[in-house]
Amino acid sequence: MLPPASGTGIYTSVSPKVIRLLRQGCTNRPFFHVVVAVNRAHQSRPVIEQVGSYDPMPNRHDEKLVALNFERIRFWIGNGAEVSKPVAQLLGLAGFYPVHPTSYLQAWKTREKMEEKNEEKSN
């Protein structure tokens, strides 16, 4: 029996909360839960709530699957939860948040690499 997505973590109204990724999965197979947790809590501690999941390994259709519970994310951000960078990137790509600058940087790098490859091919 796994802990429920509603979470079992203890928190107070004033404890600083953060929406962050929590690495599940196993060796060589990353899988992340998007969770609301107390800022200082270790990743092994029970979370306050799970608000989504993220599978960083592309599936056979070349998709990285993300599930987000926007209703709860809205609630938690509205109640002062911070958002970690990776989650902010995901939210930006989902169109919930503004697109994160690092997403642009990554896109530039990828584009450069692709152009280099294409040039090599053409040469």
Which residues are near other proteins by CB under 8 A? 1, 3-4, 8-10, 42-46, 74-75, 77-80, 88, 97-101, 104-105
C-alpha distances out from residue 31 to 22, 23, 65, 111, 112, Å? 8, 6, 10, 27, 29
CB nearer to other proteins: give 63 or 95. 95
Tokens, residue 75:
């609630």
> H or E stretch including 25?
strand 17-26
Residue pair 103/85 in contact (Cβ under 8 Å)? The answer is no
54, 62 in Cβ contact below 8 A? Answer: no
Q: Which is nearer to other proteins, 62 or 71 (CB)?
A: 71
Q: Which is nearer to other proteins, 65 or 107 (CB)?
A: 107
Residue count of the chain: 123
For the bound state, the minimum distance from the C-beta of residue 122 to other proteins, rounded and expressed in Å, comes to 26
Q: From the centroid of its chain, how far is CA 67?
A: 10
Q: How far is the CB of 61 from other proteins (least distance, A)?
A: 30
In the complex, minimum distance from the CB of residue 101 to other proteins, in angstroms, rounded to a whole number: 4
Query: Is the CB of 95 or the CB of 120 nearer to other proteins?
Result: 95
How far apart are CB 95 and other proteins at their closest, in Å? 11
